[in-house]
């Protein structure tokens, strides 16, 4: 068992996961070997033969915590997930826009402008924060093109 960021990995076989209050409890041979609060988790990944109580599965679904069961070698077996949310109207509009060239090109242009703007901003910040490590004059010359040329 290992907690990495907000994911709990159960890598040993013959473990059982259960719910105790608002905690995930890991058992081995009916002996508690670990406990992690639910509110600290975004996902639980289990490898090998690992069981989970129905109460834990329900709590994971309710709190939108992904519970994934994998074979010992890492092959996907099953997943418990909560209610699927989404905006059907938004998806339909996105699909519609994807079929109209003028609108798609406009969106693509804005994405590219954003990438170029952010890259220039990162270079300017690097020059400000690390002037002794960088050739500041060269970077300023190369990134000094007018932003108006991007709008054409």
Identify whether the C-beta of residue 26 lies closer than 8 Å to the C-beta of residue 15: yes
How far apart CA 49 and CA 14 sit, in angstroms, is 6
- In this predicted structure, the answer to whether residue 18 has a pLDDT above a threshold of 90 is yes
Model confidence, pTM: 0.55
- In this predicted structure, the answer to whether residue 147 has a pLDDT above a threshold of 60 is no
- Per-residue pLDDT tens over the stretch 110-140: 999 999 999 888 888 888 899 899 898 888 8
Quickly state the pLDDT bin for 10 (edges 50, 70, 90): very high
* Nearest alpha carbon to residue 35 among 67, 68, 64, 10: 10
How far apart CA 143 and CA 139 sit, in angstroms, is 6
Residue count of the chain:
152
* Nearest alpha carbon to residue 25 among 47, 50, 42, 6: 50
The pLDDT of residue 49 is 81
How far apart CA 136 and CA 132 sit, in angstroms, is 8
The pLDDT of residue 92 is 92
How far apart CA 1 and CA 44 sit, in angstroms, is 10
- Per-residue pLDDT tens over the stretch 52-97: 999 999 999 999 899 999 998 899 999 998 887 778 898 899 999 9
Tokens (6 digits) for 97: 């826009």
Q: How far is CA 46 from the centre of its chain?
A: 18
């Amino acid at each position: 068992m290992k907690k990495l960021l907000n994911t709990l990995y159960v890598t040993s076989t013959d473990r059982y996961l259960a719910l105790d209050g608002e905690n995930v409890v890991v058992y081995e041979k009916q002996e508690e070997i670990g406990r992690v609060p639910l509110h600290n988790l975004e996902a639980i990944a289990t490898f090998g033969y690992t069981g989970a109580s129905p109460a834990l599965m329900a709590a994971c679904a309710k709190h939108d915590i992904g519970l994934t069961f994998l074979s010992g070698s890492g092959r996907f077996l099953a997943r418990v997930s909560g209610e699927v949310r989404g905006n059907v109207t938004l998806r339909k509009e996105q699909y519609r826009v994807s079929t109209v060239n003028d609108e798609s090109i406009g969106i693509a242009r804005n994405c590219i402008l954003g990438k170029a703007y952010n890259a220039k901003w990162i270079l300017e910040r690097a020059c400000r924060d690390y002037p002794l490590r960088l050739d500041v004059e060269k970077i300023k010359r190369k990134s000094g093109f007018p932003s108006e040329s991007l709008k054409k």
